[in-house]
Structure 1
């Protein structure tokens, strides 16, 4: 079992980030890019070169797309364009329409801050049931907690979403959301946040290990044409 941070928004000094991730005992980290960066050959080449250094340090670099759609139509457009190009797609929520659309679309891997800018948690039983059915993980982001002006309110909303995920069987992942290497956190520190928010200890640890690892593995098999509609293609001997 390895540990994964599935949301890092650091764009500079990535070599130092890799070394720091190794020190924190991560198996892999996800570098979140926006649409412009994904389409920028220079940015992609920079990440691909970084992967070589990462391999030497025993770190898996995952390329992720962070979508910030204004409405569900824009979400669908971006998913249509990028789903077969990137390993992981994370949707930034907040608007209920987007939260629900993300949960109902199996092309989405992770829903991030569904409670952003709201006076509620942003999710209900309809959303979470759909997230469970479509394997959309709900992200708890440490940096969001760290930067929150009203931290008690954010924590209350996150607890509510964790409770719904437990009730309906949706996955939760815990991430750092780091924008510089000093905002990165060790895996068990992130897991402890999940525990405080209501996850049992095993599930809290799974949220930074088995759950993200399975998402990565499944998506890479799909991109390589080795998994079609949940049927895994096995080599013939």
Structure 2
């Protein structure tokens, strides 16, 4: 099962999304505009199309205290908690938090990849995935796009070395930005070997299933459940 991270929210777009060989997606909203009702609306559409959908939030924060407060607020409301990267302090703090699932665009507005060997090791220890955002790459022009590819390669090299989870997203928002899952895998194959690219494509599903399991009422923590006789 291959999954994406995006903001598609209408039936026409989701029909095309399914036609492009995706099995499901994380529908995310920014923390400032988060609405669980909106997720339920998208979930109903996805259910009719036999697509699996999970609730996600992307958190923006400038200070560690602000990030900690927002993560705590949304952890029990969403399956997937993402943190928008870019600020090096936020990048580091995010990968040190068990309650964060994905560090999104760690290279945002930076002159480097936003990840070094220290952050990659922390992300591995706390199982925080690093995002390869294909949509962000497409917004770049000429030299900037080439530099972004260098950042992707560097982060992937570090992630593989330290066994850090990696996810890939199209970050599509309408029918014109939807990409075929086969094209995304072909893109990954230009950056890493085929076996690793498949691992990246399937990592998001594993994270979502793990968080969905933890949200069950009878689960105290991973591996500890309340059994009613």
TM-score normalized by the length of structure 2: 0.92
Contact 2:96–2:122 (8 Å) recurs in 1: yes
Is 1:25–2:21 an aligned residue pair? yes
Tell me, in whole angstroms, the C-alpha distance in 1 between the residues paired with 2:124 and 2:220. 19
Q: Which of 188, 192, 199 does residue 206 from structure 1 map onto?
A: 199
Contact 1:174/1:207 (8 A) holds in 2: yes
| Aligned mates of 1:197, 1:226 — CA distance in 2 | 42
1:121 and 2:113 are equivalent in the alignment: yes
**CA offsets 1:1-20 (integer angstroms, 9 cap, x no match):** x1100x21345xx1112211
Q: Deviations over 1:127-176 (max 9, x none)?
A: 11111111111110111110113111111111100000000000111110
Aligned 8 A contact 1:140 1:158 in 2: yes
Instruction: State the Cα deviation string for residues 44-91 of structure 1 (Å, max 9, x = none).
Output: 334313322322211012111011111222110101111011110111
- Structure 2, unaligned runs of 5 or more: none
In 2, are the aligned partners of 1:191 and 1:207 still within 8 Å (CA)? no
Q: How does 1:121-140 map to 2 (within 5 A)?
A: 121-140=113-132
The CA distance in 2 between the partners of 1:155 and 1:19, in whole Å, is: 30
User: How well do the aligned residues superpose, as a CA RMSD in angstroms?
Assistant: 1.8
Query: TM-score scaled to structure 1, two decimals?
Result: 0.89
2:156 pairs with one of 162, 165, 184:
162
Structure 1 gap ranges (5+)? none
- In 1, the alpha carbon distance for the partners of 2:217 and 2:124 equals 24
Note if 1:174 corresponds to 2:168: yes
Report the more deviating stretch, 26-35 or 100-109.
26-35
Aligned 1:1-237 pairs, distance under 5 A: 2-5=1-4, 7-11=5-9, 14-38=10-34, 40=35, 44-149=36-141, 150-198=144-192, 200-209=193-202, 211-233=203-225
CA positional deviation for 1:34? 1.5
Asked if 2 retains the 8 angstrom alpha-carbon contact of 1:4 and 1:27, the reply is: yes
Number of positions where the alignment pairs a residue of Structure 1 with one of Structure 2: 227
Q: Distance in 2 between matches of 1:234 and 1:205?
A: 35
Distance 2:18 2:111 in 1: 38
Shift of the alpha carbon at 1:106? 1.0
